[in-house]
């Protein structure tokens, strides 16, 4: 494994960022809209076929013999 103990790290908060704070300048739905493409991408990496419908197991066809 690579020793990462000497990597530079900077800890910040949303208030320390440049520009207007996101909490006050955006609504919760706008912030969700910002991260949604990343969320979809993460699910596609986890399960490549996540955007396709799965096999439905609740659909049944019953054929009865007419004797």
What is the pLDDT, as a whole number, of residue 43?
A: 81
What phi and psi values does residue 65 have, to the nearest 5 degrees?
-75, 135
Answer yes or no: is 27 within a domain: yes
Task: Residue 23: give the domain boundaries.
Answer: 19-46
For residue 36, the SS3 value is helix
Tally of domains in the chain: 1
What is the pLDDT, as a whole number, of residue 50?
A: 54
In SS3 terms, 12-31 reads as CCHHHCCCCCHHHHCCHHHH
- Asked whether the predicted pLDDT for residue 7 surpasses 70, the reply is yes
Answer yes or no: is 42 within a domain: yes
- Asked whether the predicted pLDDT for residue 8 surpasses 80, the reply is yes
Answer yes or no: is 2 within a domain: no
pTM of the complete model beyond 0.75: no
User: Which residue would you say has higher pLDDT here, 16 or 10?
Assistant: 10
Answer yes or no: is 8 within a domain: no
What phi and psi values does residue 56 have, to the nearest 5 degrees?
-80, 130
Q: What is the pLDDT of residues 27-67, one digit of tens each?
A: 889 888 989 999 888 887 877 665 566 667 777 777 888 76
């Amino acid at each position: 494994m690579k020793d990462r103990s000497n990597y530079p790290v900077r800890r910040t908060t949303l208030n320390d960022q440049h520009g207007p704070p996101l909490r006050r300048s955006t609504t919760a739905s706008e912030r969700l809209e910002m991260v949604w493409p990343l969320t979809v991408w993460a699910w596609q990496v986890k399960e490549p076929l996540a955007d396709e419908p799965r096999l439905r197991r609740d659909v049944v066809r019953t054929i009865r013999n007419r004797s």
